[in-house]
Amino acid sequence: MIRPAVDVVVPFAGPDAELEDLLQRLRAIELRSGDTLTVVDNRPGSSDRGEHVVADPEQQSSYHARNTGAARGRAPWLLFIDADVDPQPDILDRYFEPLPDEDVGLLAGGVQDAPLTNNPTRAERYAFDAEQMSQTRTLRAGPWAYAQTANAAVRREAFDQIGGFTDGIRSGGDADLCFRLRVAGWRLDLREHADVIHHNRASTRSFLRQKARHGAGAAWLNSVYPGAFPPRDRRLWLRRLLRELKTAAVLSARGNRDEAADLLFPTLTVWAFELGRFLPNRVK
């Protein structure tokens, strides 16, 4: 098939061992003439490594890193994927089956949660059941529809027109990019078959910290786009938490601690998100 060239951009901020693993997984992508692959190492003190890894230690923001990676290429399309996903080898071909209309500025690829292992953690089970990375869920958000840049292709003309991602923020940049694209007259389209496998946070601590960061991004988005991400009714959720704490105490007293933790986890996730609204969304 004939398709446009694509610059693949992946922000990275993990340990060295994970960087080597990421590069191995990305090398499985079938590149054609004109395609490029760039991993942007966003860690403090990072340095360029070989052909595909460019350092960007100036600002610890995945959106700043994506802008840096995008500026290295010249292809008419950009594919942004996260470091915690496994792309299909033919993902670039899948994105352009069929070719998008000329007013489409962004293609949202599918994001599938990794299958659960025989002994998944509580956080992994919750994320899998909630389908938290589903593109169809965020694209159905009416006037505030957006795609998650864990897997999204953006037309370079549209990307350059709106100035790329907003620099200096920790979370919410994918929704912000989509809102600005739509204001500029570009459409979003779904490419569910151009999918990746997403690996969720395994520990409760890292999962709740991620939710708090998302909450900070939601508060920032709601300040820039009033009504986009309003806070939940905290009185209602406080009453729910108190009820569940009482039930959990009874379960724990009977020796059912895992059942008690399972009961509390969804509500704790909501509270991590809502309390995260009070955290700064600007990078240090």
Q: What is the DSSP string of 191-238?
A: EEEEEEEE----SHHHHHHHHHHHHHHHHHHHHHSTTSSPPP-HHHHH
Is the model's pLDDT at 203 over the cut of 90?
yes
Handedness of CA 116, 248, 255, 207 (dihedral sign): positive
Residues 230 and 191 in one domain: no
The arrangement of strands across the sheet holding 104-113 comes to 53-55, 36-41, 6-12, 77-81, 151-155, 104-113, 187-198, 85-87
Share of the chain above pLDDT 70, in %: 100
* Pairing outcome for strands 6-12 and 77-81: parallel
| Structure confidence by residue, pLDDT tens digits, 127-176 | 999 988 899 999 998 999 999 999 999 999 999 999 999 999 999 999 99
Among residues 236, 275, 244, the alpha carbon closest in space to that of 261 is found at 244
Residue 282: inside a domain: no
Is the model's pLDDT at 1 over the cut of 80?
no
Domain boundary among 201, 231, 251: 201
Q: How many domains, the chain?
A: 2
Is the model's pLDDT at 14 over the cut of 80?
yes
Instruction: List Cβ neighbours of 150 (8 Å cut-off, separation of 6 or more).
Output: 81, 82, 84, 85, 111, 133, 196, 198
| Structure confidence by residue, pLDDT tens digits, 68-126 | 999 999 999 999 999 999 999 999 999 999 999 999 999 999 999 999 888 999 999 99
Residue 111: inside a domain: yes
Is the model's pLDDT at 23 over the cut of 80?
yes
Residues 83 and 165 in one domain: yes
Per-residue pLDDT, 284? 79
Residues 37 and 158 in one domain: yes
Provide the token pair at 156: 């370079």
Domain boundary among 181, 201, 221: 201
Residue 267: inside a domain: yes
Are 151 and 81 spatial neighbours (Cβ–Cβ below 8 Å)? yes
What is the rounded distance in angstroms from the CA atom of residue 79 to the CA atom of residue 8?
A: 5
Instruction: List the domain range (segments joined by +) for residue 153.
Output: 6-201
Average pLDDT of span 31-39? 97
H-type alpha helices, the chain:
16-26, 62-71, 91-95, 122-130, 135-139, 156-161, 173-183, 204-224, 234-253, 257-276
Residues 123 and 152 in one domain: yes
Residue 283: inside a domain: no
Per-residue pLDDT, 161? 98
Provide the token pair at 247: 């039930």
Residue 87: inside a domain: yes
Largest CA-CA distance found in the chain, in angstroms, rounded? 64
Per-residue pLDDT, 174? 98
Residue 281: inside a domain: no
Per-residue pLDDT, 184? 98
Residue 43: inside a domain: yes
Are 106 and 186 spatial neighbours (Cβ–Cβ below 8 Å)? yes
Domain boundary among 177, 201, 225: 201
Are 165 and 173 spatial neighbours (Cβ–Cβ below 8 Å)? yes
Residue 194: inside a domain: yes
| Structure confidence by residue, pLDDT tens digits, 43-61 | 998 988 888 999 999 999 9
What is the rounded distance in angstroms from the CA atom of residue 170 to the CA atom of residue 60?
A: 8
Q: Which pLDDT band, with edges at 50, 70 and 90, does 40 fall under?
A: very high
Residues 129 and 226 in one domain: no
